[in-house]
Amino acid sequence: MQTDDPSAPPALELSGVTKSFGPVTALRSANLRVETGSIHALVGENGAGKSTLVKIVAGLYRRDGGALALDGAPVDFHSTAESKAAGIAVIYQEPTLFPDLSVTENIFMGRQPTGRFGRIDRRAMRQEAQAIFARLGVRLDPDRPTDGLSIADQQIIEIAKAISLDARVLVMDEPTAALSGIEVDRLFAVARGLRDEGRALVFISHRFDEVFDLCDTVTVMRDGAYVDTLPVAGTTVDELVRMMVGRDVAELFPKLPAEVGDDVLVVEGLTQPGVFHDVSFTVRAGEIVGLAGLVGAGRSEVARAVFGVDPYESGSVRVDGEPLPRGNPRASIARGLALVPEDRRRQGLVLDQTVARNVTLAIRERLARWGLVWDGLENAAARTWASRLEVKTAALDAETGTLSGGNQQKVVLGKWLASDPRVLIVDEPTRGIDVGTKAEVHRLLSRLAQQGVAILMISSELPEVLGMADRVLVMREGRLTGELDRADATPEAVMRAATTEEAVR
Amino acid sequence: MTAITTAPALLAGAGRLLRARETGIGIALVLVVVAATALNPAFVFSADGFRDLLLTPSILMVVAVGQAVVIVTRNVDLSVGSVVGLVAYLTGTLLRDVPGIPIVVVVLAGVGFGAALGLVNGALVAYARVPALVITLGTMYVYRGVNVAWTGSDRINASDLPSAFRALGTGKLLGIPILTLLAVVVLVAAAWYLRNLRSGRELYAIGSDPAAAQLYGLRVTRRVLAAFVACGALAGLAGVLFAARYGTVSSNAGFGWELQAIGAAVIGGVAISGGVGTVWGAALGAYLLLTINRALPIIGVDDFWQRAVVGVLIIGAIVLDRVLAVRQHRRLVGQREEQREEQRGEQREDQREGTP
């Protein structure tokens, strides 16, 4: 916080910004005032308009009304190139890099240093990249392609890009969603460094602990409108949540008691060299088993192997005592398994298709009469589930890609729930989902457990795991390193198993 | 940590060259030539043999370079064969019906016409946002149709063309065919452009991830359009060279060349999914493709099998690329993991020393 002078114009200011897409209003009246030398949190439920606001600042969308000013001067962006030239850098939730090109080229694409005849000065470019990495305190080979880099590394490249641009305003849209603890620490150190240089940062996150850890000011949005701006020091999580949802959320994770029955899913000695080793666990009817661990510990891979999407070399999977053939998702579905994948946009949904089509995707055969799927049956089934899950969509024939993240997740869940599963595997069920919807997803999972479904829940959010799971399994680097009962599962115990050598078993 | 000294830099350069995808194609080409020459020394060691070795692939090389520029942007141009034919006939007609027309004007007209046809492709692809495969499939038939309608049963004969123009196709400079020299100049210029200019690198970026290119603020539409214009212009140049080399031009000149050009690019390591590959590879691919065709009869492979061999070559190249890509991906992931382990160790040591 370098500028204490209240009269200095803010680095970035939006006032009364509006934006509609056809009949849908995304922003009714957005305000944001980001001072130089500060980290400003922007919080709100999904669909509150944060992403739209970011895209307006980035020059990707044009606002319909309201004012946008940089350092007090009104600006108007027609393209991302213009906003970039004005000193705004945006780091999106999923980094957007060119996988085939080198790290250095990714940083400088479109504005490489040039010499005679417009020839790119590769040496200068490389040196500048190295200088930036040195300053960020990371070691990344500037010549390697960005393919194969973790999301954390990719975000570092995005930040390097912003620094090379000498951006005055840096907007980070959920940069920590896919990062592990160490990586988050590194990112925060970099962000603080940039703040101390007098840049303005906007930080969007659903994780409150991060907001309180990193930011000095917070702006809350709800339903496309500005709610309030507060100093972080003067507020609490409860207050923020209340402002975001406009109501009191009594409990984030309403775990309902469920009767635990027989073993349903039994996994023994599952091994795929280089991915996971000797993984054994059991999930019983009515039980929610949490699978915790850092990103990259091999949790999703195990889930995918159990379901049959990925291969495994040795070990066995049994459902209700009967062995499940490996590498055969159709057989898994027939035996009552359901997988809600991590990357819902790519693996869980057909985005171009309607909501109704997506919801009924897993039960097409049951809906079919004489081999054909009739619209009437499809819509009836979809309507039941969409209403039960409170999917907010204008119509069942809307394209799924047009829904918000939370509602898309509900469609994926709806798809599998319609198939009456015996075993439900959910991978990061609430990633990128707002608080209100999160609670709904949790309540839903809880109710399923009560109906006797065996649930394996992979999650990187500790409160979610601790709040929901009857038992917690912890993975580290492809191995199960801990199994904790609900009573023993403290944040410390889980983190210890996820990060250290010795097993807690 | 990174004191750049000449010797390691040279070594690194040599290592990169050895590992480069193009080197493999170069070696394959040498093997084919050596095998054919061992069985029939005239394949290289005769005036005709040496000339054909250099000359035959030259025109396709020009087309393949243009095709590679388009494929790098994650597009494809199926109309190049038709453009070659149309421009070849235009060239012949100009030379026959306009006596005394300067050759430079004819070349420029051919290149310009090719560029215009490329502009039609590019505009439809870039502005209408229809996949290039479909658009250029359409223009392939349209251009060929126009060619057939215009040519009818007419054909240009070698005797219709001035000898100065014919010399372009048959002449030599320092023992090397002029056509080959021209093709190499085109190749070097294209390679330099793609490697060293911003707009050249942006073509790779666009092909690597079009959505990211848009977010970067790159002028995607303009670049893609330019790639198609360049491809059309090079196909046009190839049409002029075709007339000069063969002298005879009928309505099926350049028939099927689009697939040969795509095949050449793919064999040379230009990824059909964009963002990867060089025009060097595409040029070598063209060279290999046509040289194999000439070498197979000598090696004793029946004519009937030639196409199958070409097919196997293309599939082999794609499988090889896929294997290499998977291996490289694994290597890159592994490399990063190791590095991170190291760094983690160091971080533990100098924690709290303050970050910049």
pLDDT in tens, B127-145: 887 889 999 999 999 999 9
Residues on chain B touching A97 (C-beta within 8 angstroms): 209, 212
Report the residue of chain A nearest B344, measured CA to CA. A182
Which of these three, A245, A280, A312, is where a domain ends? A245
More confident residue, B180 or A377: B180
List the helix and strand counts (H, then E) for chain A: 17, 22
Segments forming the whole domain that contains residue A304:
263-499
Q: Report the alpha-carbon distance of residue B54 to residue B46 in Å, rounded.
A: 12
Answer yes or no: is A299 within a domain.
Answer: yes
Q: Does B159 touch chain A (CB under 8 A)?
A: no
Segment A39-60 shows an average pLDDT of 84
Quote the mean pLDDT of chain A. Answer: 80
| Same domain membership, residue A363 and residue A307 | yes
Answer yes or no: is A332 within a domain.
Answer: yes
Taking an 8 Å cut-off on Cβ atoms, the answer to whether A101 and B275 are in contact is yes
Q: Residue B2: what pLDDT?
A: 40
Please give the share of chain A, as a percent, with pLDDT higher than 90: 11
Q: Structurally, how many domains does chain A consist of?
A: 2
Q: Report the alpha-carbon distance of residue A455 to residue A384 in Å, rounded.
A: 22
Q: Report the alpha-carbon distance of residue A227 to residue A223 in Å, rounded.
A: 9
Q: Which of A94-98, A112-116, A310-314, B184-188 has the highest mean pLDDT?
A: B184-188
Segment A91-106 shows an average pLDDT of 85
Q: By the 8 A CB rule, do B114 and B237 touch? A: yes
Band the pLDDT of B182: cuts 50, 70, 90.
very high
Q: Residue A280: what pLDDT?
A: 92
Positive or negative, the CA dihedral A60, A65, A68, A73 is: positive
DSSP state of B20: S
Answer yes or no: is A291 within a domain.
Answer: yes
Of A59, A97, A139, the CB nearest to B212: A97
Report the residue of chain A nearest B192, measured CA to CA. A119
Of B198, B211, B330, the CB nearest to A96: B211
Segment B315-336 shows an average pLDDT of 80
Q: By the 8 A CB rule, do A293 and A469 touch? A: no
Segment A174-196 shows an average pLDDT of 79
Residues on chain A touching B339 (C-beta within 8 angstroms): 139, 141
Question: In which region does residue A109 sit, left (phi positive, over 0), alpha (psi from -120 to 50) or beta (all else)?
Answer: beta
Tell whether the model's pLDDT for residue B225 goes beyond 80. yes
| Same domain membership, residue A283 and residue A225 | no
Q: By the 8 A CB rule, do B84 and B63 touch? A: yes
Please give the share of chain B, as a percent, with pLDDT higher than 90: 40
A to B CB pairs, distance under 8 Å = 101
Buried b (16+ CB within 10 A) or exposed e, A369-396: eeeebeeebbbebbeebbeebebebeeb
Q: By the 8 A CB rule, do A142 and A151 touch? A: no
| Same domain membership, residue A240 and residue A275 | no
- Neighbouring CB atoms inside 10 A of B151's CB total 20
Q: CA dihedral in degrees (A187, A188, A193, A198; nearest 10)?
A: 110
Band the pLDDT of B355: cuts 50, 70, 90.
very low
Segment A138-144 shows an average pLDDT of 84
Q: Distance, in angstroms, between B327 CA and closest chain A CA?
A: 11
Q: Distance, in angstroms, between A156 CA and closest chain B CA?
A: 14
Q: Is B333 exposed, middle or buried (0-12, 13-18, 19+ CB in 10 A)?
A: middle
Q: Report the alpha-carbon distance of residue B60 to residue B50 in Å, rounded.
A: 18
What does the pLDDT look like over B5-21, one tens digit per residue? 455 555 666 666 656 77
Q: Report the alpha-carbon distance of residue A106 to residue A128 in Å, rounded.
A: 13
- Give the three-state DSSP class for B182: helix
Q: Report the alpha-carbon distance of residue B145 to residue B143 in Å, rounded.
A: 5
Q: Which of A5-14, A468-477, B117-126, B322-331 has the highest mean pLDDT?
A: B117-126
Q: Distance, in angstroms, between A500 CA and closest chain B CA?
A: 13
Answer yes or no: is A7 within a domain.
Answer: no
| Same domain membership, residue A321 and residue A204 | no
| Same domain membership, residue A232 and residue A281 | no
Which of these three, A218, A245, A272, is where a domain ends? A245
Most A CBs within 10 Å: which of B332, B338, B341, B344, as the mutation test of the A interface?
B332
Tell whether the model's pLDDT for residue B336 goes beyond 90. no
Tell whether the model's pLDDT for residue A435 goes beyond 90. no
| Same domain membership, residue A465 and residue A417 | yes
**Element spanning B138, H or E:** helix B132-151
> Strands A423-427, A337-340: parallel, antiparallel or unpaired by DSSP?
parallel
Answer yes or no: is A203 within a domain.
Answer: yes
Segment B46-75 shows an average pLDDT of 90
Of B204, B219, B355, the CB nearest to A193: B355
Q: Residue B1: what pLDDT?
A: 39
Band the pLDDT of A1: cuts 50, 70, 90.
very low
- Give the three-state DSSP class for B277: coil
Q: Which token pair is A89?
A: 């850098």
**Element spanning A454, H or E:** strand A454-458
What does the pLDDT look like over A323-333, one tens digit per residue? 888 888 888 88
| Same domain membership, residue A290 and residue A150 | no
Q: By the 8 A CB rule, do A423 and A283 touch? A: yes
Residues on chain A touching B198 (C-beta within 8 angstroms): 110-112, 114, 118, 120
DSSP state of A346: I
Taking an 8 Å cut-off on Cβ atoms, the answer to whether A79 and B333 are in contact is no
Q: Is the confidence metric ipTM above 0.85 for this complex?
A: no
Give chain A's end-to-end CA distance (angstroms, integer): 47
**Element spanning A213, H or E:** helix A208-214
What does the pLDDT look like over A17-44, one tens digit per residue? 998 876 667 888 888 999 888 999 998 8
**Element spanning B232, H or E:** helix B220-246
Tell whether the model's pLDDT for residue B351 goes beyond 80. no
| Same domain membership, residue A271 and residue A237 | no
Q: By the 8 A CB rule, do B229 and B214 touch? A: no
- Give the three-state DSSP class for B4: coil
Q: Which domains does chain B have, with CATH numbers?
A: 21-331 (1.10.3470)
Tell whether the model's pLDDT for residue A505 goes beyond 50. no
Q: What is the CATH number of the domain that holds A41?
A: 3.40.50.300
| Same domain membership, residue A226 and residue A341 | no
Look at chain A and count its residues.
505
Tell whether the model's pLDDT for residue A54 goes beyond 50. yes
Of B198, B217, B344, the CB nearest to A79: B217
Which of these three, A213, A245, A277, is where a domain ends? A245
| Same domain membership, residue A333 and residue A202 | no
Q: By the 8 A CB rule, do A243 and A261 touch? A: no
Interface of A with B (CB under 8 A): 59-60, 79-82, 84, 92, 96-101, 105, 109-112, 114, 118-120, 130, 135-139, 141, 144-145, 147-150, 153, 182, 189-190, 192-193
What does the pLDDT look like over A159-170, one tens digit per residue? 888 888 888 899
Q: Which residues contact B308 (CB under 8 A, 6 or more apart)?
A: none
Taking an 8 Å cut-off on Cβ atoms, the answer to whether B198 and A120 are in contact is yes
Answer yes or no: is A235 within a domain.
Answer: yes
Tell whether the model's pLDDT for residue A475 goes beyond 60. yes
Q: Which token pair is A96?
A: 């957007």
Band the pLDDT of A417: cuts 50, 70, 90.
confident
Q: Residue A296: what pLDDT?
A: 67
The residue among B12, B72, B11, B43 whose CA lies nearest residue B230 is: B72
Taking an 8 Å cut-off on Cβ atoms, the answer to whether A190 and B355 are in contact is yes
3-state SS, one letter per residue, for A120-146: ECHHHHHHHHHHHHHHHCCCCCCCCEC
Q: Residue B279: what pLDDT?
A: 93
Answer yes or no: is A504 within a domain.
Answer: no
Q: Which of residues 183-202 of B touch A (CB under 8 A)?
A: 196-198, 201-202
Residues on chain B touching A92 (C-beta within 8 angstroms): 215
Rounded to whole angstroms, what are the CA distances from B243 to B66, B87, B106, B168? 19, 9, 11, 10
Band the pLDDT of B206: cuts 50, 70, 90.
very high
What does the pLDDT look like over A266-312, one tens digit per residue? 999 988 877 888 999 999 998 999 998 876 678 888 998 998 888 88
Segment A97-123 shows an average pLDDT of 88
| Same domain membership, residue A234 and residue A104 | yes
Question: In which region does residue A274 sit, left (phi positive, over 0), alpha (psi from -120 to 50) or beta (all else)?
Answer: left
| Same domain membership, residue A274 and residue A140 | no
Q: Residue B136: what pLDDT?
A: 92
Of B198, B333, B339, the CB nearest to A110: B198
